[in-house]
Structure 1
Amino acid sequence: MDKFTQKLQASLENIQPDPEKKYGIERLNALGVVNFEGTKDPIDVEAWMNQIGKCFEVMRCPEHRKVSLATFLLQKQAEDWWKLLKNRRGDQEEICWEEFRKAFFERFYPRSSRDMKQDEFLQLMQENMTVAEYELKYTELSKYGLYIVVDEKERCRRFETGLKQEIRTSVTTIA
C-alpha cells in the first residue's frame, strides 16, 4: 500500500500546474496583451495600462509578479526608460506595482495631459450632440473627474448641468 501511495503522489505532482506558467508571460500573451514601445498619445498609454491591469485581474496575478511581467513587455523607448529608472534607484528594494504605475504615467502620460482631460470633462456641454452622444462623451471623460464627482448625486448634477437648457429644464422638472 505504501508503494501505491508514493506512486499516486508522484503522479499528482506531475499534473499540478507550474505557478510560473500560471503567472507568466505566456498567459499574458494568451490574453492578448501587447508590447508597449512608448508613445506621446495618452490614449495609447491608458489603453495599454488598462489592458494589462485587466489581464492581471483575470489571472489573479500576485502583486510581486506584476512589475516583472509588465516590464518584460516594454520595448524601445519604454524599455530604455525602465532601465534608466532601475539604474537611478540602485539597489533599493523592488518597486511595487502602484509605484511602477505612478512612474509609468508620469513618464508617458504627463500631468498636463491628464489636467487637459479633466478640464475637458469639467467644461463638457451637450451643444450639438444628441443626448446619447453627450452621455457617451460624459462617461468617457468622467474617469478624469473622479476626485471632483465623488458620489452619484454629484455625478447626476454635473451631467444635467451640461445638457442643453431646454432638455435640462425638462429633466430637472421630472426629477
Structure 2
Amino acid sequence: MDKFTQILQASLGNIQPDPEKKYGIERLKALGATNFEGTKDPADAKVLMNQVEKCFGVMRCPENIKLSLATFLLQKQAEDWWKLLKNRRGDQEEVCWEEFRKAFFERFYPRSFRDMKQDKFLQLMQGNMTVAEYKLKYTTLSKYALNIIVDEKERCRSFESGLR
C-alpha cells in the first residue's frame, strides 16, 4: 500500500494545472464575480469592480488576462458601452487593464456621484437618528471622504461633530 501511495503522489505531482481553468471565467464566477448590465446606482459599479479585483488577487491573475475576463462579465448596456468604446479606438493598440478600469469608472462610477456622496458625508448630522443609525450612515458615507478623514483622530473628530 505504501508503494502505491508513493506512485500516486508522484503522478499527481506531474499534473500541470490547466491555465484555462486557473484563469477562466468559471473560476472568476466561483469566487463571486457577477455579470454587470449597467445600473442606475453607481455604487453597484464600485461593488462589482471591488469584487472582480479581489477575485483577480486570489487567482493571481496576470495583467494580460484581466481585461478579457472582466469584459466577459459585461452584459446589455454595459456590453454596448464596451463595444462602442472599442469601436471608437479603432485599430489602435489593445486596451490595458488600467485604461479599462479608468474608463469603466468614468462611465459607471462618475466623479459627480462620488462628490455628491462626499458632500452628504460632510453635511451628515445625527438629527433624529439613533447613535447606531448615525454610526451606520457615517460609516457608509465615509468611504467617499477618505481623503478628508485620513487618520483615526480625524475620523473620531468628524464623527463627534455630527452627534447631537
Query: Offset at 1:76?
Result: 1.1
Q: Which amino acid aligns with 2:161?
A: T
1:102 corresponds to 2:84: no
**Aligned counterpart, 1:169:** none
- Cα shift readout 1:133-153 (whole Å, capped 9, x = no counterpart): 212211111110011222222
Unaligned runs of 5+ in 1: 1-10, 165-175
* Residue equivalent to 1:88: 88
TM-score normalized with structure 1 length: 0.79
Question: Residues 99-138 of structure 1 correspond to what in structure 2 (within 5 A)?
Answer: 99-138=99-138
Which ranges of structure 2 fall in alignment gaps of 5 or more residues?
Answer: 1-10
- Describe the shift of the 1:91–1:145 C-alpha distance in structure 2 as closer, same or farther (beyond 3 A): same
Equivalent position amino acid for 2:127 in 1: E
- State the 1:26 CA deviation: 0.9
Query: With structure 2 as the length reference, what TM-score do the two structures score?
Result: 0.84
Aligned to 2:143, the other structure's residue is in SS state helix
**SS across alignment from 1:144:** coil
**Inter-partner Cα distance in structure 2 for 1:121 and 1:98:** 28
SS in 1 for 2:144: helix
Cα RMSD (Å): 2.1
The aligned runs of 1:40-51 (5 Å cut-off) are: 40-51=40-51
More helix by share: 1
Letter of the structure 2 residue corresponding to residue 84 of structure 1: L
Report the count of equivalent residues. Answer: 156
The aligned amino acid for 1:138 is Y
Residue 63 of structure 1, CA deviation? 2.1
1:68-111 deviation digits (Å, cap 9, x = unpaired)? 10001111111111111112222333323222122111111222
How many percent of aligned residue pairs carry the same amino acid?
Answer: 82
Task: Tell me the equivalent position of 1:67.
Answer: 67
Partner of 1:173: none
